[in-house]
Amino acid sequence: MDFAFTDDQKEFRSLLRSFVDREIIPVAREWEKEGRYPTEIVAGMADMGLFGMTIPEEYGGLDLDPVSFALVFEEISRGWMGVAGILGSHSLACRMIAMHGTGQQKNDYLPDLATGRRRTGIGLTEPEAGTDLQGIRTTAKLDGDHYVVNGTKMWITNARYADPLPVLVKTDPTASPRHKGMSILLIEQSLDGFTVSRDIPKLGYKGTESCEIVLDNVRVPRDRLLGGVEGIGLKQALSALEWGRVNIAARSVGIAQRAHELALGYAKQRKAFGQPIAEFQAIQLKLATLATNLQAARLMAYWSADAVKRGRADAQTGMAKIFCSEVALEAAIDAMKVHGGYGYSTEFEVERLYRDSVLMSIGEGTNDILRTVVAKALVKGEVTV
């Protein structure tokens, strides 16, 4: 088994790490405190081509393999997990359009999405439908050459910039099973009735907005139906969420990596009783555990990414997302403990890692739901360990 990155991936990681150290880490704490949108960081990511990660080269994208895709999210999240979220929803939506869009839809959107001139996200979650996507209430009724869309979407990342926004709707609310009545529409923000109604206050995950969107009799041209076929919207969405779990696993590794760096650095320079606290066995045990779990999580994340490269990998990505997200939270807490009282202060970076890490066990499917996905795959013999 080869656990090493290729030379190209090593060079790519070095480029990403340099960008994070230079452009993100020095400003992240202050900009988050101010509620400032990271416009300059977004421009830098666009210059690096990162908005085209999941877009084929023929449309101007990078068309990264899943392992290189994971590299991006680990490194960016090491600097500021919220900024990685700007790339996350965009990349999954781009992959969905690239995989399932009609020729016209790809030509209309992918070239600008690859450069960042356009950005996007995914409109799935609703006030009363999160994990249970089949329970959405947003409807799209065909009226001539347009769908008339009504409903509300919640927790939409990139909501104020997503144009178009792929939105999961019910084109046949009476269908049984329910998923056969679900479709995805590519909705442009300029359409009448499309309103970003509010920003949702959050504990962490700052840097990108998470919003409520109201769709009030929005008339969407019929040719904006993703793939041109009704009834396969849930399948289209789930095909992107597999990469989403790799994204979350890698983001979790980035958080844990930064927690390790901060804890180790602080333990070396902070003195108590006349010596660096890194000399005390209690601190050494925390540092060793943190580093060990971090490396295990990293291997799990890239193992799952490699599995995606080889084919469908729901169980593998589920395992990685579960494990890595829980390592991230544990690492953030241990890093806070190493910092002592200063770890609880907003003047130190480590408290942000704690706030950001909590989301990792919730986003892209809660860990408990994913445990059922893994268990079903084990029972069916779809994956072995």
What pLDDT score was predicted for residue 51? Answer: 98
**Cis amide prior to 164 (ω within 30 degrees):** yes
Rounded CA separation 117/100 (Å): 21
Tell me the pLDDT tens digit for each residue of 298-336.
999 999 999 999 888 999 999 999 999 999 999 999 999
Q: How many CB atoms lie within 10 A of CB 170?
A: 21
Annotated active-site residue in 32, 58, 364, 382: 364
Asked if the model's pLDDT at residue 360 lies above 80, the reply is: yes
Instruction: Give mean pLDDT, residues 371-379.
Output: 94
Tell me the pLDDT tens digit for each residue of 196-230.
999 999 999 999 999 999 999 999 999 999 999 99
CATH architecture classification, 7-115: Orthogonal Bundle (1.10)
What pLDDT score was predicted for residue 363? Answer: 87
Where does the chain hold its CATH 2.40.110.10 domain(s)?
133-231
Q: What is the DSSP string of 148-210?
A: EEEEEEEEEETTTTBSSEEEEEES-TT-SSGGGGEEEEEE-TTSTTEEEEEEPP-SS--SS-E
> pLDDT over 90 for what percent of the chain?
93
HSE-up of residue 50 (Cα within 13 Å, Cβ side): 28
Nearest alpha-carbon partner for 118 in 158, 78, 66, 168 = 158
CATH architecture classification, 235-380: Up-down Bundle (1.20)
Tokens of 181: 């009545």
Rounded CA separation 129/119 (Å): 25
Q: Regarding beta strands 146-157 and 165-170, do their DSSP bridges make them parallel or antiparallel, or are they unpaired?
A: unpaired
Instruction: Give mean pLDDT, residues 231-258.
Output: 95
Where does the chain hold its CATH 1.10.540.10 domain(s)?
7-115
Backbone angles phi, psi at 57, to 5 degrees: -60, -30
Instruction: Give mean pLDDT, residues 95-102.
Output: 97
Instruction: Please confirm, yes or no, whether 364 is among the known catalytic residues.
Output: yes
Rounded CA separation 122/137 (Å): 16
> pLDDT over 70 for what percent of the chain?
100
Residue 205 — left, alpha, or beta (φ > 0 → left; ψ -120 to 50 → alpha)? left
What pLDDT score was predicted for residue 200? Answer: 95
Question: With respect to CATH, is domain 133-231 assigned 2.40.110.10?
Answer: yes
